[in-house]
């Protein structure tokens, strides 16, 4: 998979993709990640990427032209109807559909080239959305100063679901949200830490009992913290 990040602050990403799973995935040729400065796609000597909104109002809006030029350069066309198969051009904004585990899996399984546009200021010229964007994503119901932190979240959520990224076929399958429940508790050495014991069921070697316990604990945790997930799983509103 190839991921291109379009931003006016490329320095934000200087080292963030050089750790952990993402670093291993890059080193193993599983994913290629490139960060591009939107200002490199401007035509004026001041490298201007924003302007006042028509109709008045506070703040500035990212202009359409540099984004169009960037997508033409990265994808080969500024017409989303002509994008190569597997291409997703994503605008990161508070107005997008929520990033859920199933959305991350959709991108991991169905995308070969993902372009992430990091919004800034009061937003992006709507013509970008109408002509270029295939998906608009939000990482939560709150407003950030820009899409850069969201881009990191989206990349991490997608990359860890790519084949061989985690080194285990079951690691991602057992994550929270993968089966509609939160993850179960986990324990490691020592068995007794300050009087707190590891549950006996995890020490007995009975894998059927361990899986049963893990499911029960995941269900209990979900009931306590995220009952909305259970309602969704059961088809309730």
Note the residue count of the chain.
237
Let me know if residue 171 belongs to a domain.
Answer: no
Label residue 228 by pLDDT band (50, 70, 90).
confident
Return the sign of the alpha-carbon dihedral for residues 110, 114, 120, 124.
negative
Residue 25 to residue 40: CA distance in whole angstroms: 27
- Check whether residue 77 and residue 25 sit in a common domain: yes
> Whole domain around residue 194: which residue ranges?
176-233
Do 138 and 38 share a structural domain? yes
Is the pLDDT confidence value at 176 over 60? Answer: no
Q: Note the pTM of the prediction, 2 decimals.
A: 0.81
- For strands 50-51 and 192-193, give the pairing: unpaired
Q: What per-residue confidence (pLDDT) applies to 137?
A: 96
Count of domains forming the chain: 2
At 100, which CATH number? 3.40.1280.10
Q: What is the predicted pLDDT for the residue at 154?
A: 98
- Please indicate, yes or no, if residue 167 is contained in any of the structural domains: no
Give residue-wise pLDDT tens across range 114-127: 999 998 877 899 99
**Is residue 34 reached through a cis peptide bond, with omega within 30 degrees of 0 on the bond before it?**
no
| Residues designated catalytic | 94, 122, 160, 175
- Region 25-34: what's the mean pLDDT? 97
Residue 217 forms part of a structural domain: yes
Taking only the tens place, the pLDDT of each residue in 63-77 is 999 999 999 999 999
Band the pLDDT of 237: cuts 50, 70, 90.
Answer: very low
Both 226 and 152 in a single domain? Answer: no
102 and 183 in a single domain? The answer is: no
**Shared-domain flag, residues 140 and 180:** no
What is the pLDDT of the chain when averaged over all its residues?
A: 90
Query: Does residue 186 share a domain with residue 116?
Result: no
Q: Evaluate whether 3 touches 143 at the Cβ level (below 8 Å).
A: no
12, with CB counted inside 10 A (0-12, 13-18, 19+), is middle
pLDDT of residue 175 exceeding 50: yes
In a domain, 89, yes or no: yes
User: Got the DSSP string for 110-178?
Assistant: H-SEEEEEE-BTT-B-HHHHHHT-SEEEESSSS--SBSHHHHHHHHHHHHTTSTTSSS-TTTGGGSTTT
Per-residue pLDDT at 173: 53
Supply the pLDDT for residue 2. 98
Token reading at 22: 């993402």
DSSP per-residue letters across 32-56: EEEEEEGGGG--STT---EEPPTT-
Is residue 47 in a domain? Answer: yes
């Amino acid at each position: 998979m190839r991921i291109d990040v379009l931003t006016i602050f490329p320095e934000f990403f200087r080292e963030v993709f050089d750790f952990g799973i993402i670093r291993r995935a890059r080193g193993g040729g599983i994913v290629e990640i490139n960060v591009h400065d939107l200002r490199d796609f401007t035509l004026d000597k001041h490298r201007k990427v924003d302007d006042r909104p028509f109709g008045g109002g506070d703040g500035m809006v990212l202009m359409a032209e540099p984004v169009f030029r960037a997508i033409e350069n990265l994808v080969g066309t500024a017409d989303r109807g002509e994008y190569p198969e597997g291409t997703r051009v994503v605008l990161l904004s508070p107005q997008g559909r929520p990033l859920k585990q199933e959305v991350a899996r959709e991108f991991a399984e169905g995308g070969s080239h993902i372009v992430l546009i990091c919004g800034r200021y009061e937003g992006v010229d709507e013509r970008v959305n109408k002509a270029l964007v295939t998906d608009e994503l939000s990482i939560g119901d709150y407003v950030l100063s820009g899409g850069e932190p969201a881009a990191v979240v989206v990349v991490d959520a997608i990359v860890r679901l790519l084949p061989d990224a985690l080194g285990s076929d079951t690691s991602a399958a057992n994550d929270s949200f993968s089966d509609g429940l939160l993850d179960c508790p986990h324990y490691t050495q020592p068995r007794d830490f300050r009087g707190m014991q590891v549950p006996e069921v995890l020490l007995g070697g009975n894998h059927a009992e361990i899986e049963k316990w893990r499911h029960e604990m995941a269900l209990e945790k979900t009931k306590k913290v995220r009952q909305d997930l259970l309602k969704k799983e059961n088809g309730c509103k």
